[in-house]
Structure 1
Amino acid sequence: MKISYNWLKEYIDFSESPEKLGDILTQTGLEVEGIEKAEKIPGGLKGIVVGEVMSCEQHPNADKLKVTKVDIGASELSDIVCGAPNVATGQKVLVATVNSTIHPTNGEPFKIKKAKIRGEVSEGMICAEDELGLGTSHEGIMVLDTDKPNGTPAIELFETGEDHIFEIGLTPNRGDATSHMGSARDLKAYFRKELNIPQPKSFDIKEDQPISVRIEDHDRCPRFSGITIRGLKVQSSPDWLQWKLRSIGLEPINNVVDVTNYVLHSLGQPMHAYDAALVKGDKIIVKTLEDKTSFTTLEGKERKLSKEDLMVCNGAEEGMCMAGVLGGLKSGVTEETTAIFLESAYWNADGIRSTAQRHTISTDASFRYERGADPEITVAAVKLGTSLILELAGGYAASEIVDIYPEPIKEKEIEVTFQHFHWLIGKTLDHKLIIEILNWLDIKTENVTETGFKAIVPAYRSDVTRPADLVEEVLRIYGFNEVELDEDFSSEYLAEFNEHEPYRVQEDLSKFLAGQGYSEILTNSLTNPKYYEKFPIGGEPVEMLNPSSEELTIMKTSPVYTALESVAYNINRRNPNLKFFEFGRSYKKEDQKYKETEWLSFYLTGNTKEANWLDEPRKNSFHDLSTTVMGMLKYSGIRKTEIIPSEKGTLYEYGVVIKKEGKMLGILGKLKKELLSIYGIKQDVFHAQLDWEAILSLYKSDIAYEPIPKFPEVKRDLSLVLDKNVSYADIQQLAFKQEKKLLNRMNLFSVYEGDKIEKGKKAYAISFFLQDKFKTLTDKQIDKSMNALMSLYEKQLGAVIRK
C-alpha cells in the first residue's frame, strides 16, 4: 500500500522528515518497507533551460535534419542539430543542455552529450513534450509563449513538485489503515494532535429522475448509500488530481473515475460510478443471479458467476457490478456519459473475500472490503465525491442521498482490567496514560475505576475484539522500545502476576505428559465430511464457504476425527504402540450460532512397552489411561474428583465421566469399533477428552508440601461381594463420606467374577489406609472405623463381607 507524505500533511500537521515519519509509522504498527521520492515531472527539469532559435538551416548531409544556433543565455550561441519538422527561427524553446539528463514519458532516462550528427556538431537538444515527461505529444518541439530571458531554468515555467511515498506492508488485520486518513489516525494518537479533515462543499439538490435502490440481502450488504448526478461532462482531471494519483502509482482515467479513486485513497471508502443511462428502469437492485450467469468485467474478461456472488443489478436484473469487487464493462463511465449513479456501500467482508477468491480477482476495493471497511463513513464519502464531481465535471445532484441502513452495526464493548495491561506489557503504566492513548485512538472508555474500565471500540476497528487487542493498541502508541528489558531477560519472561496464562499452563502440562511417555500431536481444524456422515458426533458441523479441497469441507465437530488419522497413519507404518495427547478445538453450529470449544485429548493404543527379555508385553488398558489422566489432574492441583460411570453413548463402548464440585471436567473410555473401522484401525484405542476451560479454571500451580507424619499409617483389607452394577467409585465415595477424619486413601488390588461366587455378583478386595497425623491410632479406633464402613456397605450397597 502506498501513502503520500504530502497527502498525509493535509490531514495532520507535522514537521518530521519523511525518514523520521517512516520510523514513527513503523513503530505504530504500519511497517514502512521503503520510501521513494516522487517527482511531478521526472527529473525535475534539471539542466533544462529556455532557449531562442537564432538561426535554422538545412543540414548539409540529411534531408530531415536542421542545424540551428540557439541562445541559451551563455556567452556564445549553441549549435544544435534538430529533427523536428516545426523548428524555426525566432522560436522560444526548451533546451536540454550538455550533461543534463532527460526523462521521457516513455522509455528510459538518458544523458545529453556533445556529439557530431552526420558531421555537424550538436551541443544539446531542443525537446518535444514527451521527451521531457511533460505529456505524450511527439509531433514536434515545444514552442513556448514566454517573455522569460534566455537561459531561464525551465523549473520556473512549470510546477514541478515532489513528494515522498511510503510503501507500507499492511497486515491483514489493519483494514482501518488502508487510506491516508486511516494512517493519519495513528499519527493523531502519536502526536496528540487533532485531524484536519477536509470538508466537502455543500451542494443543492434538484430532483430529476432519481435512481431508486432495493437491497435483497441485508446480511451481505448491511449499508448502501448513493446519489444520482446529471448534466456532467466527462473529461480529463485537473493537474492537481492527476498528480495526487500518479504519486501513489495510479494512472488517471477521467474526472469522475479519478474522484472515486481519490475518495478511496483519502478516506478508505471504495466507490463506484455507474452510467445512469445504463441503469435500466432507473433502479438498482442488490441481489444474486443464477448460477453460471455470464458477466463481463471492466477488463473485458467474461466470467461465469456463482449463485453465491452478490451483484449490483439494474431494473432489468442485469448485472452491472460484482459487489465490492469489480465493475462491469457495459455500465462504466465513458466520454459519452452525462449522468451517473455514485455508489458508496458497506459490504460484508466474508462475502467479498469469497467472491474475490472464487474469481481470482484482487482490486483496490476488494483489498479494503476484505479487511473490514467503515460502515459509518459511506454517506460522508458520497458527500465528498459528489462535491468534487460537481466541481470538476459540472452538473447537479439529481436526488437526495440514498442511505439504506436497516440495522446499524453496534460498537464493540470490551471489559478489561489495568492489571491485564501491566501483565502483557511487562511494565506498569499510569492508568491515565492508558485511557488517554485509547481515547486518542477513538476508543471511548466508560466506567473507569481503579481496577479497570469498559472500552467502546468504533465499528471501523474490526480487528479490536478482546482485551489483548486493547493492550496492543496502547503499546504501539506508547512505544515497544519504551519497555525496558532486564539484563537476564529471556523468551520465557513476562511480568509476574498471580494469574495462570493459558499457554503457560499448556506448556507445563505438556512437559508433564511428555515425561509420562506421551507425544504431542497437532491436527487440522478441517476434516473430511465422510467421517461425520458415517459416524456423526459433536453436533451440527460448520461447512466451509470456499473449501480448498473436497476432503476438507467441514470443521471438525470432535477432535477424534483428525487425531485418529494420526493414529492410523502410525499403525499402518508398523508403529502400533502409541501414546498421544493434543490441545485442540472442536466447532459446531448451535441455535444458528457458531460455537468453538477447546479440549485436551488423549489417545492410548497398543502395548505398554516393547517386548524384552525381562518382561512379557502387556496391552494398554482403560486403567493405564485413567492413571495418566488422574495423575495429570492431581499434578494440576485438581483433587477429590468424582468418577461416575457414563451411559453407553455414541462414542464409547464404555467409559466414565470426571467431575469436580458438580462441574464436568471430561470423559474417558474405549472408542467404539464402528468408529475405528472407518480409519482401518483394528486394535483397541482408549480416549479421554477434557474440557480445557474447566481445567484452566481449577488449575493450581502451587505445590503444597507437608512434613511426613510422625505417626504410622494403618492398613486394613476388606473383601466385598456386590452386585455387578456397583462400581468401585460408589464404594470409594461412600467411604470418604463416612470416614472423613481418619481415612487417608484406598487401593483396589483385586476384582473377581466367576463360578466361585453367585451369578451377577463380583468381588472387590480393597485396602483401607487409616492415619491420625497427631497421635498413634488404637485398635479400638481402627475397629470402630472399619465396623462403621462395613455396616454402611451392607446397608446401602447390599454387600456381603467376606471375613
Structure 2
Amino acid sequence: MKFTLSWLRNFVSLEGITPTQLADKLTMLGLEVDAVEELYTELDAFITCRVQSVSKHPNADKLTVCLVETGEGEPLEVVCGAPNVRAGLITALARPGVKLPDGTKIKKSKVRGLLSQGMLCSASELGLSSDHSGIMELDPAMEIGLPLATALGLRDTMIEVDLTPNRPDCASVLGIAREVAGFSKQQLSSPVSRLTPLNGSEVDFKVVVEDEGLCPRYIARKVSGVTVGPSPDWMQRQLLAVGMRPINNIVDVTNYVMLEMGQPLHAFDFATIRGKEIVVRSPRAGEKEFVTLDGNSRQLSEEMLMICDQEGPIAVAGVMGGLDSEVSDQTTEVLLEAACFDAVSIRRTARNLNIPSEASYRFERGVDPDLAHRAIERAAELIAKYGQGTAEADGIDVYPGKKELLNLQLRADKVRTLLGIEISKLEMADYLRGIDFEVSPDLGETMQVTVPSFRIDIEREVDLVEEIARLVGYNEIPTTQPKITMHYPKRDSLRSMRQTLSQILTSQGFYEAINYSFVTEKHFDALGLAEDDQRRSVTRLLNPLSEEQAVMRSMLLPGLLENIKRNINFQQSDIRLFEIGKTFFYREEGQLPLEKQQLCGVICGNRYPNAESLYFSDDRADFFDIKGVCQHLITTLRLSGDQGELTLVPCDQDSCQSYCDPSASEEIRNGDEVIGIFGMLDRRVLEAFGIKVDVFLLEIDLDSLSRLPVIAKQFQSLPKFPSVKRDIALLVPDHVPSGEILQAIHQQKQKLVESTQLFDVYRGKPIEEGLKSVALSVTYRSATKTLNDKSVDKVHQKIVDSLMTQFKARYREGSEL
C-alpha cells in the first residue's frame, strides 16, 4: 500500500510529525513501512522562466526562437516547437546539463542553424501528466528562477506499507489516516459529508444478484452527460506518485477513490449494457471465454463470479472489466459499480486467470460491505465535477448480506493484567474511539465495545486488548521478568526407575532391545496362553502394515524371542537382551487401550559370552544366572515390600506361567501380589519359536514395582571390632530350600549376626535318602565391643535350636558347632 503525505493530510494533521517519525510509529502499530521516498527531487534541476519574446525561426516553419528570462544574467536563446509558446508565458526550463525523466540529457545545440541554450518543457516530458499538447503554462504571477518542485508545491513524500492479510482496512489512505488519528488523538476528516438514499425507484436499469453468498452487496449508480478527457493534474500526480498510470477522468476517479477509501470501483459505459440490466452470477453453459480490458481472452469456469448484462458477461467480478463495456472517448453515460464480493472466490478467480490487480488485492483480503455506499457517493461526486456530468439522484443498492455489528465486553482489569501497565478505563475508551470503535460505559470496570464493520480481524476481547497495546505503543509497555518458583519439578518415578534399570542391566552385560509395538496374534498360541488369558484381549490396527503387525503387543517376551532366533541364525548364540516398554490391553469399544510398563530380559548361551577361554570357563548360563540378575536388581533398587522384603518363591505347577518350566522358575512377590517371574522357558515354547537352546527369562511389571517404597540409604561406619565365625552343618529334608534356611536366620533379627553364607550342599552316601546336608557360615560382630566365646555361643545356640525345630533338622555326624 502506497500513499503520499499530501494525500494523508486531507484527512488528518501531520503537524510536528516528520516522515521518519511517521514511518516508525506506523511500524510500531503493526503496519511495517517498507520505503520512505522523497518525490519529484529530480525536478529541482528545472526552473521557472518567463518568455521575454518570440520570433519565427528563419529556417523552419514550425519552430520559434524565444528569449527566456531566468532571473539570473542575460536572457537565454531557446528554440521551441510548442504551439502555445508566447511572450509573457511563465513555463519550465531545462538548462544545459539537465536530464529529463526519460534519460535525455539537454545540451547546447544548433537547431536548424540557430543555437538553443535549453528546452522549454511540457508536463508530459516532466512526468507530471499525460498532456503533451504544449509546454507548461504556469501562474503568470509566479516568481521566475525557482526550482520547479518548489514553485508547483510538489514537495512530497511517498510511504509504502507492507500490510498483513488481517488488516485490509489499512489498504487505503483513509485507513492509514485513521491509524494516525488514533495514536495522535485527532478527529478523522471524512471525504463524504452526506449519502444519497438509493431506493431504486427512479432509475432506468435493473440489478439482479443471483448468488448472494458470493456477493453480499452490490450498488449501481449512473452519471449522465459526462465528457471523457484528462483528469485534473493534482489527481494525475497523486496516482503517478503511488505507481498508477492515469488514463482518463472517469477511470482515474475510480482508481483514486479505491486508493483513498479502500473500496474497488468499476465504471461501465452504460450504452454498452444490453437490456439495461446488471446480473451478478456464475458463467452459464456456453460462456467459456471472455475478453478482459487488457485485450486477452480468458477461460472461464463455473466457480467464477461474473458481472453480466442480459446477453452475457461484461466483467470478471472483483478482478477486471470487459473490453466491450469499457469507458471510451465516446462515452456520455457511466454506470458506477461498488460491490462486496466473497474473498475466497475472488482469490481463486484471480489465481486461475493470472490477473493480479489492485481491486483483487483488496477483495482477497476482505472489503467492508458498509463502505460501498460512501465510496460510490464520493466517486459520483468527483465524476460529476471533473467530467462535467450529473450524478442521478437515485441508484440501486442490493444488500442481502447485511450483518449486525459485533459487540464485545472489555474488562479494564483484564487489559491491565495482560499489558502489565496502569491505564484508566477512560483512556482505554478514548484509544478505541480514536479508531472508530463505539464504546458504551458499563457497570463497574467493564465496557461494551461495538466493533466497526471494517475491522474483520477483531473477534474476541483479547483482540481489543491488542488494539489498546498498539495505540499505547509496544515500546511503552515495560519489560518484566516472569515470576518463576525456583524448584525442580517432581520427577516421574517410573521414568527414573526405567533409567536405573537400564544402567543396572547394561552393567550386567545386557544389551537393550527396541522392538515394534505391532505384533502378530500367532505368538499367543506359541506361548501356550489360555483362551481366557487377559493378554489375548488385544487392540487391533485398522490399517496394519502386514499380517505380522496386525495387533498391539500385550507382552514383550515374543519380540525378544524373535531377536534370539535372528541372532542364532547369524551364529551369535551368547545373548543377553532386555527391553523396557509399554504393553497394550483392549478395553471397551471407543476407549483407548490400557497401557502398562513392563521389563523383560532373556539369557542364553555361555555364562561368560565373548570371554577368553584361557581365563573363563565355557559353562552355560543356567537358572541361577537369571536369579542372580533378579536379586541384584532388587538389592540395587533398595525396594521394600508392603509387608517387608520382596520374596522369591518357587512357582506352583498350577500358578506358573504356561511358557515357563515350573521346576526351574520362581515368582517375585510383594506379599500375595505377584509382580514378576524369572526362570527357564518351557522347551515346547522354544521349539515353537524355532530356538534349540535353553533360554532364561526375567519378566517384571514395572507399574507395580514403581509403587513400592524405596529404602533410604544409611551411612554405616567401618567396623572397629573383629568378627567371629561359626559354621553350622545340618541334615534337613531334601525338599527344604536352602534359601529358606538363610532367610529363617535373618528373620530372627539377632543383633550380633552380621551375615550368613551357604557354602555346601551335599546329597548321597553316607547320607540317607530323602535328606541333604547343608553347611552354613554365620558371621558375628558387635559395634561396641570385642566378642568373647560365651556371648557368641549363646546366640549361636539359639539359631541352631530354632532351625532344628522349624525344619526338623539334626546334626550331621562329625559336625561341630
Same fold (TM over 0.5): yes
Structure 1 CA distance for aligned equivalents of residues 443 and 195 of structure 2: 44
**Contact 2:641/2:708 (8 A) holds in 1:** no
Residue 220 of structure 2 is matched in structure 1 by 226
**Contact 1:53/1:93 (8 A) holds in 2:** no
Structure 2 CA distance for aligned equivalents of residues 384 and 149 of structure 1: 33
Structure 1 CA distance for aligned equivalents of residues 478 and 563 of structure 2: 50
Residue 164 of structure 1 is matched in structure 2 by 157
CA offsets 1:665-718 (integer angstroms, 9 cap, x no match): xx99xxxxxxxxxxxxxxxxxxxxxxxxxxxxxxxxxxxxxxx99997669999
Structure 2 CA distance for aligned equivalents of residues 73 and 92 of structure 1: 14
How is 1:490-639 mapped onto 2 (pairs within 5 angstroms)?
495-496=482-483, 623=583
Match of 2:293 among 288, 294, 298: 298
How is 1:353-752 mapped onto 2 (pairs within 5 angstroms)?
353-398=347-392, 400-414=394-408, 421-422=415-416, 424-427=418-421, 429-445=423-439, 448=442, 455-485=449-479, 495-496=482-483, 623=583, 645-647=587-589, 656=593, 749=676
Matched, 1:192 2:194: no
Shift of 1:132: 4.5
CA offsets 1:502-535 (integer angstroms, 9 cap, x no match): xxx9xx99xx99x999xxxxxxxxxxxxxxxxxx
Distance 1:407 1:614, change over 3 A: farther
Structure 2 CA distance for aligned equivalents of residues 153 and 716 of structure 1: 105
Matched, 1:216 2:217: no
Matched, 1:50 2:64: no
Structure 1 CA distance for aligned equivalents of residues 10 and 254 of structure 2: 18
Residue 96 of structure 1 is matched in structure 2 by 93
Shift of 1:161: 2.7
Give the AA of the match of 2:28: Q
Residue 182 of structure 1 is matched in structure 2 by 175
Shift of 1:216: 1.3
CA offsets 1:350-372 (integer angstroms, 9 cap, x no match): 11111112222211111111111
Give the AA of the match of 1:304: Q
Residue 24 of structure 1 is matched in structure 2 by 25
Structure 2 CA distance for aligned equivalents of residues 360 and 744 of structure 1: 78
Give the AA of the match of 1:244: Q
Matched, 1:259 2:256: no
Shift of 1:167: 0.7
CA offsets 1:450-486 (integer angstroms, 9 cap, x no match): 6765543222111222344333222211111112335
**Contact 2:53/2:66 (8 A) holds in 1:** yes
Give the AA of the match of 2:348: S
Residue 9 of structure 1 is matched in structure 2 by 9
Structure 2 CA distance for aligned equivalents of residues 442 and 415 of structure 1: 16
Shift of 1:96: 3.2
User: SS where residue 228 of structure 2 aligns?
Assistant: coil
**Contact 2:48/2:143 (8 A) holds in 1:** no
Shift of 1:309: 0.3
Shift of 1:269: 1.0
Structure 1 CA distance for aligned equivalents of residues 284 and 155 of structure 2: 50
Match of 1:326 among 309, 320, 337: 320
Match of 1:345 among 339, 357, 371: 339
User: SS where residue 593 of structure 2 aligns?
Assistant: strand
Structure 2 CA distance for aligned equivalents of residues 182 and 365 of structure 1: 16
Give the AA of the match of 1:168: V
Structure 2 CA distance for aligned equivalents of residues 449 and 437 of structure 1: 19
User: SS where residue 330 of structure 1 aligns?
Assistant: helix
Match of 2:310 among 312, 315, 318: 315
Structure 2 CA distance for aligned equivalents of residues 146 and 428 of structure 1: 56
Shift of 1:329: 1.2
- Equivalent pairs counted in the alignment come to 571
User: SS where residue 344 of structure 2 aligns?
Assistant: helix
Give the AA of the match of 2:226: L
**Contact 1:43/1:102 (8 A) holds in 2:** no
Residue 34 of structure 1 is matched in structure 2 by 35
**Contact 1:44/1:155 (8 A) holds in 2:** yes
Structure 1 CA distance for aligned equivalents of residues 443 and 484 of structure 2: 20
Q: TM-score, normalised by structure 1?
A: 0.59
Structure 2 CA distance for aligned equivalents of residues 153 and 47 of structure 1: 5
Give the AA of the match of 2:396: V
**Contact 1:95/1:124 (8 A) holds in 2:** no
The 10-residue stretch of structure 1 (261-270 or 196-205) with the greater mean CA deviation from structure 2: 196-205
Match of 2:103 among 103, 108, 111: 108
Give the AA of the match of 2:431: I
Distance 1:279 1:195, change over 3 A: same
Shift of 1:255: 2.0
Distance 1:275 1:419, change over 3 A: same
**Contact 2:149/2:155 (8 A) holds in 1:** no
How is 1:141-156 mapped onto 2 (pairs within 5 angstroms)?
153=146
Residue 233 of structure 2 is matched in structure 1 by 239
Q: TM-score, normalised by structure 2?
A: 0.58
Structure 2 CA distance for aligned equivalents of residues 137 and 382 of structure 1: 28
Structure 2 CA distance for aligned equivalents of residues 135 and 608 of structure 1: 85
**Contact 2:85/2:135 (8 A) holds in 1:** no
Structure 1 CA distance for aligned equivalents of residues 39 and 367 of structure 2: 28
Distance 1:439 1:122, change over 3 A: closer
CA offsets 1:747-799 (integer angstroms, 9 cap, x no match): 86479xx9xxxxxxxxx99979899xxxxxxxxxxxxxxxxxxxxxxxxxxxx
Residue 676 of structure 1 is matched in structure 2 by none
Shift of 1:166: 0.7
CA offsets 1:364-385 (integer angstroms, 9 cap, x no match): 1111111111111211222222
User: SS where residue 101 of structure 1 aligns?
Assistant: coil
Structure 2 CA distance for aligned equivalents of residues 372 and 720 of structure 1: 78
Aligned residues with identical type, % of pairs: 29
Larger radius of gyration between Structure 1 and Structure 2: 2
Give the AA of the match of 1:355: T
User: SS where residue 284 of structure 1 aligns?
Assistant: strand
Distance 1:88 1:310, change over 3 A: closer
Shift of 1:199: 2.6
Distance 1:34 1:151, change over 3 A: closer
Shift of 1:284: 1.2
**Contact 1:202/1:387 (8 A) holds in 2:** no
Distance 1:66 1:377, change over 3 A: closer
Match of 1:284 among 278, 282, 285: 278
Consecutive unaligned residues in structure 1, runs of 5 or more:
487-492, 499-504, 518-559, 580-604, 627-642, 659-666, 669-707, 723-742, 755-763, 772-803
Structure 2 CA distance for aligned equivalents of residues 166 and 357 of structure 1: 28
**Contact 1:445/1:456 (8 A) holds in 2:** yes
Distance 1:715 1:618, change over 3 A: closer
Shift of 1:120: 7.1
Structure 1 CA distance for aligned equivalents of residues 206 and 499 of structure 2: 70
Distance 1:56 1:377, change over 3 A: closer
Give the AA of the match of 1:253: I
